[in-house]
């Protein structure tokens, strides 16, 4: 884990492509960790709550739970107690035909929560689900929500939830995103997509939900936070200010751009659905990190989406005093690296401590301390252990510009010394950067052309991939006015150049033009709802032909 910076000569992000499920995971004995004592919840605590935002003056109040189909009791909240235990669940993808792994994991989590609450002498326990509730093929349906509700009820603690991209994927049941979202909210007693919950003294949790799938302009799997939630978010931050002693944790299905998390899949970058509001526009995707910089009492931001574990470098990253925390998965079918993990958070008046519960470890899963975030020194997290080494050849890299890179151009230098022309080889060893005259940032590395956000210097998307760049060189001419691909000197160009409307070719020379939004990245994945309708029409046409032209 490192403290990421918006600029500087250090690698920023590493994007995971593929790691074998047989890769060895870190043994809990390989580094310091805390073993929590066994404890089971006493009979004096019941299982529901009243509104967490209601005004209280006594030592203990009550909070409403999700569950209780026939009505519930109460679970105590100690509003004057700053200590709490929080569980953050990543993408669940529950399959009602195979719930064993999820039920075992829930038992482990409840055990750890209750043990830690006992040791901390607190009744403040909370659970947050980061969405993507259903298995592939049933996600986003009423039945999916019912199964998830029943599963989450089993934690016997207050639960809040945000929607993920798959939670609005009920294409066969709901005609619109509005209908799908309404069903999601109804299933979990939500009056709005977002949530706000006080879980301890001066400790606020804020959740942001995606609200579109069918209506997405590009990939349906982009996690889109609308303007209404963005306004609400800043209102909540202003109303619960640092001056009044508030500490805030934020929850969303995907992380914000500029978070510095490395455990990101390359496919999410290529399809422009890795970050919140990834493809919407410059202001919309930069908004969230700007809020973190403006409101320093945002202490932590939890996200899932990538189905990757907590054992890699920068699965937790600190930017401007805010810790961005990647959350793994529980399900055996949804893990992409063979590891199944959940985050446990321990809060006190002085700090946050983030733990990992590893469900893939045989026997009782201990809680492994990963990092301590001290409120009085937020930019210097205390890391509990190192990270494992890994095969870098199986990762997709993205970097911050370094002055020793070839063709390095800063904001004041728009062309190299070579007569206004800069050339980058297709070789995977080459790393070059340009600020185009229109302000856009292009990088060439690992045999690809990648567009970066000029403010956050985080990757937006792939302009040309390895196959499209094979046998070619990237040429930036006239001080950044134009970029083109030309055959490598001494070699033939690749005839498989992109047919994107954002480019034009003359022989083997391809000029890359800005796209409709002014950037250069290519949309590789179209809206799923549109593609599904197209396939349905194609099938109808084929059926007609078989019936009438056989």
What mean pLDDT comes out for the span 434-439?
A: 85
Give the lowest-confidence range in 40-49, 269-278, 468-477: 40-49
Rg (the chain; Cα; Å): 25
Q: Where are the domains of the chain?
A: 79-383, 402-512
CATH code that applies to domain 79-383 = 3.60.21.10
| H-type alpha helices, 420-504 | 466-469
Q: What percent of the chain has pLDDT over 90?
A: 48
Please, which contacts does 437-440 make with residues 24 or more away whose CB atoms are closer than 8 Å? 437/478, 437/479, 437/480, 437/481, 438/480, 438/514, 438/518, 440/514, 440/518, 440/519, 440/520
Q: What percent of the chain has pLDDT over 70?
A: 73
Q: Tens digit of pLDDT for each residue in 363-415?
A: 656 899 999 999 999 889 998 887 766 655 555 565 666 656 655 444 333 33
Q: Tens digit of pLDDT for each residue in 516-531?
A: 888 999 877 666 566 6
Sequence-distant (≥ 6) Cβ neighbours of residue 214 within 8 angstroms: 168, 171, 176, 177, 220, 527, 529
What mean pLDDT comes out for the span 306-321?
A: 87
Whether the per-residue pLDDT at 169 is higher than 50: the answer is yes
What mean pLDDT comes out for the span 431-457?
A: 87
Expressed in percent and rounded to 5, the helix, strand and coil fractions of the chain are 20, 25, 55
Alpha-carbon gap, residue 443 to 422, rounded angstroms: 12
């Amino acid at each position: 884990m490192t403290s990421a910076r918006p600029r500087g000569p250090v690698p920023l992000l590493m994007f995971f492509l593929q790691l074998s499920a047989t890769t060895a995971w870190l043994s809990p004995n390989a580094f310091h960790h805390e073993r929590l004592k066994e404890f089971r919840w006493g009979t004096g605590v019941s299982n529901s709550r009243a509104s967490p935002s209601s005004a209280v003056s006594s030592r203990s109040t009550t909070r409403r739970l999700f569950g209780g189909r026939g009505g519930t009791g109460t679970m105590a909240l100690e509003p004057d107690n700053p200590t709490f235990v929080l569980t953050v669940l990543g993408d669940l993808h529950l399959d009602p035909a195979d719930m064993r792994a999820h039920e075992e994991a829930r038992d482990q989590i409840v055990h750890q929560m209750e043990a830690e609450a006992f040791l901390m002498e607190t009744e403040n326990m909370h659970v947050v689900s980061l969405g993507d509730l259903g298995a592939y093929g049933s996600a986003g349906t009423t039945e999916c929500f019912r199964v998830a509700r029943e599963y989450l009820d089993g934690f016997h603690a207050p639960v809040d939830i945000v929607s993920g991209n798959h939670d609005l994927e009920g294409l066969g049941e709901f005609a619109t995103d509005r209908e799908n979202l309404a069903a999601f909210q109804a299933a979990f007693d939500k009056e709005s997509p977002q949530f706000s919950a006080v879980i301890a003294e001066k400790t606020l949790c804020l959740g942001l939900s995606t609200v579109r799938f069918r209506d997405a302009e590009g990939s349906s799997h982009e996690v889109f936070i609308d303007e209404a939630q963005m306004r609400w978010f800043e209102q909540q931050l202003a109303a619960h200010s640092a001056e009044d002693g508030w500490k805030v944790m934020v929850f969303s299905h995907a992380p914000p751009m500029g978070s510095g998390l490395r455990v990101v899949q390359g496919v999410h970058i290529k399809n422009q659905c890795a970050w919140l509001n990834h493809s919407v526009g410059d202001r919309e995707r930069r908004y969230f990190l700007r809020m973190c910089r403006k409101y320093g009492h945002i202490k932590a931001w939890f996200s899932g989406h990538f189905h990757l574990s907590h054992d890699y470098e920068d699965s937790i990253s600190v930017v401007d005093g805010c810790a961005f925390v990647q959350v793994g998965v529980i399900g055996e079918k949804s893990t992409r690296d063979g590891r199944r993990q959940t985050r446990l958070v321990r809060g006190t008046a002085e700090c946050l401590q983030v733990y990992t519960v590893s469900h893939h470890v045989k026997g009782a899963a201990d809680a492994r301390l990963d990092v301590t975030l001290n409120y009085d020194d937020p930019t210097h997290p205390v890391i509990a252990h190192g990270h494992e080494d890994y095969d870098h050849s199986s990762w997709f890299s993205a970097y911050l510009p370094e002055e020793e890179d070839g063709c390095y151009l800063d904001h004041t230098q728009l062309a190299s010394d070579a007569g206004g022309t800069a050339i980058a080889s297709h070789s995977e060893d080459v790393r070059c950067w340009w600020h185009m005259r229109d302000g856009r940032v292009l990088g060439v590395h690992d045999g690809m052309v990648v567009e970066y956000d000029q403010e956050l210097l985080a990757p937006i998307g792939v302009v040309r991939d390895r196959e499209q760049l094979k046998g070619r060189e990237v040429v930036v001419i006239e001080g950044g006015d134009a970029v083109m691909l030309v055959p490598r000197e001494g070699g033939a160009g690749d005839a498989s150049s992109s047919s994107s409307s954002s480019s034009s070719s003359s022989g083997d020379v391809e000029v890359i033009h800005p796209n409709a939004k002014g950037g250069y990245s290519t949309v590789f994945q179209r809206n799923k709802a549109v593609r599904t309708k197209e396939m349905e029409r194609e099938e109808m046409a084929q059926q007609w032909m078989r019936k009438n032209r056989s």
